[in-house]
Structure 1
Amino acid sequence: MNHLLLALIVFICLFGSALAGSAVRQRLPSHHLSDDSVAVLKLATGLIATMSALVLGLLVSSAKGTFETTNAQLEGAAAKVVEFDRVLARYGPSAQPIRTQLKHNYAEIVQILASRDESRLALLDSPEAINRSEALQQQVADLSPATGNQRVLKASALQMMDAVFAARWLTVLQANQSIPPVMLVILISWLSIIFGSFGLFAPRNGTIVVVLMLCAGSTAATILLVEELNRPLDGLISVSLEPMVHTLERLGQ
């Protein structure tokens, strides 16, 4: 589901619950809103509010961790690619075709990531991308070192490729998370109860309506923030590609 659409649904649920609570207030007998009744309702609502705050805090923290981890993995992989290219440069002229192919493949990956398009990002995990990566690795494995130094460089290059590929798959897997649907439904239900109680307790006037609207919008924005941070390769909030662009400029030099 589109993240903006999800945030809009959350906003409608919360603000609608507040308006519904305000409408119910107008029809309740006065003794239902006595001091004792309101005290009990506030205690029950406070319990739900505490649970909702804890869940929202955990979701934001988890999403932020996913975003930062993905960003660190991209930076680390970019550094490894530069190091891999320099190892091939030290190996000698026979590794030059591999360096050329490496730069071509890396440029294509940067273009895909820069598109921020979910359909294009899926190409990073496509059979064609896997075949290109394995073909490049096979080219390194097929090198025939003539000296001891070249044998060491070849072994080092193969290890670096394994590390880069592992980081790449991990990044692709981690960059497609979202709030589990059941958790999302439960959280929205809790928040709707809270906003319904706001409308039930508060007098109905323009100021209260505007405040409730702003609160509903802020809460919906929090859900949007969580969803966006959970998908750091696309959407409104995404990781910086500057390290990868800088790496691309240095490849082949």
Structure 2
Amino acid sequence: MEKELTGKVALVTGGTKGIGKAIADRLSQAGATVIVTARNHPGDENLKHHFIAADITISSETDKMVWEINEKYGAIDILVNNMGGSSSPSGGFGVLTDKHWENDMQLNLHSAVRIDRAILPQMVEKNSGVIIHVSSITGALPVYESLGAYAVAKAALNNYSKSLAKEFTPKGIRIAAVSPGMVKTDTMDAYLQSLADTTASSIEEVTRNLMNSLGGIPMGRMALPDEIAELVGFLVSPRASYITGVNYIIDGGANPSL
């Protein structure tokens, strides 16, 4: 199991920090050759994986990145679409402009569509491949006060992922989504700090309020990035060979529905 991805080439978008970095490290431990991409180099001299700077909200940069990977490593076997996020302000629907909606859709939906379009033909040609879309529990449980546009984009990503699986699974490609709840990352810490600053509350208060808005977290804590990475590591492995077209919620039990 430790080297079950030996010989595989994996691309992790947004793979330099947080969940993306944990996923990249997990796939590397399993033997994969891992390439990570982000808009800017994180400045980490100990970065373990091949890094390509690319803004995958731009088609030309996406195509150039895929070409570079193919030239150096060959076809991509595993794609983890982890890039996403939101810079929209809190305050509900009334504070969101067209630009906020467009940015959140670009980051969380269109970027995944764009890179899938660049990579799927080569997967179809060899009749194999795995694509994982990292979504969010907010796709099913929107937090409208602060993540309205982001939640809508993730709900769309979930629908898109299912649609893609229906079309491409018969061609040998497995496609699935993973929807984390609250995860302890630097980005989450910064987000909670911004909420605290906006509402003149403490970090503890805004953390508790956000947990409550998701219906509470029975585990009583946020997930660790490595816990999300472990699920992704399984889903891209041969052990998950019959799994496709699903959305795995990993949220410590927060989602109250079946």
Fold match, TM over 0.5? no
Structure with more of its chain in helix, by fraction: 1
Structure with more of its chain in strand, by fraction: 2
User: If the TM-score is normalised by the length of the shorter chain, which range does it land in?
Assistant: under 0.3
Task: With the length of structure 1 as denominator, give the TM-score of the two structures.
Answer: 0.25
Task: With the length of structure 2 as denominator, give the TM-score of the two structures.
Answer: 0.24
Which one scores higher on RCO, CA 8 angstroms, separation ≥ 6? 1
